Amino acid sequence: MTLYQPFLDYAIALLQNRLNLQSYPIPAGFESKQATVGKGKHQEEVLTTSYAYQTSKLRQIRAAHVQGGNSLQVLNFVIFPHLNYDLPFFGADLVTLPGGHLIALDMQPLFRDDLGYQAKYTQPILPIFQTHQQHLPWGGDFPEEAQPFFSPAFLWTRPQQTEVVETHVFAAFKAYLQAYLDFVDQAQPVTDSKYLAEIEQAQLRYLRYRAEKDPARGMFTRFYGTEWTEEYIHGFLFDLERKLALSGARG
Task: Confirm if 94 and 103 have CB atoms less than 8 A apart.
Answer: yes
102 binds ligand DBV (CB under 6 A): yes
Site membership for ligand DBV, residue 179 (CB under 6 A): no
Please say which residue, 65 or 132, places its beta carbon nearer to ligand DBV: 65
Q: Does 237 participate in binding ligand DBV (rule CB under 6 A)? A: yes
> What is the smallest separation between the CB atom of 113 and ligand DBV, expressed in angstroms?
16
CB 85 within 8 A of CB 66: no
Residue 179 backbone phi and psi in degrees, to 5: -65, -35
Spatial distance between the Cα atoms of 243 and 90, rounded to a whole number of angstroms: 20
E strand or H helix at 201 = helix 193-213
Residue closer to ligand DBV by CB (options 118, 221) is 221
C-beta of 216 vs 240, nearer to ligand DBV:
216
CB of 95 to ligand DBV, least distance (A): 4
DSSP symbol at 132: H
Binding residue for ligand DBV (CB under 6 A) from 3, 52, 58, 64? 64
Cα torsion 8, 10, 15, 16 to 10°: value is 110
C-alpha span between 32 and 210 (Å, rounded): 22
Q: From the list 40, 143, 248, 251, which residue makes contact with ligand DBV (rule: CB under 6 A)?
A: 143
CB under 6 A: which stretch of 15-23, 36-44, 94-102, 242-250 binds ligand DBV?
A: 94-102
Distance from C-alpha of 123 to C-alpha of 137, rounded to nearest angstrom? 20
Residue 204, number of CB atoms within 10 A of its CB: 14
Stretch touching ligand DBV by CB under 6 A, among 15-23, 177-185, 191-199, 206-214: 206-214
Positions in the binding site for ligand DBV (CB under 6 A): 64, 74, 76, 91, 93, 95, 97, 102, 104, 142-143, 146, 149, 209-210, 213-216, 218-219, 237
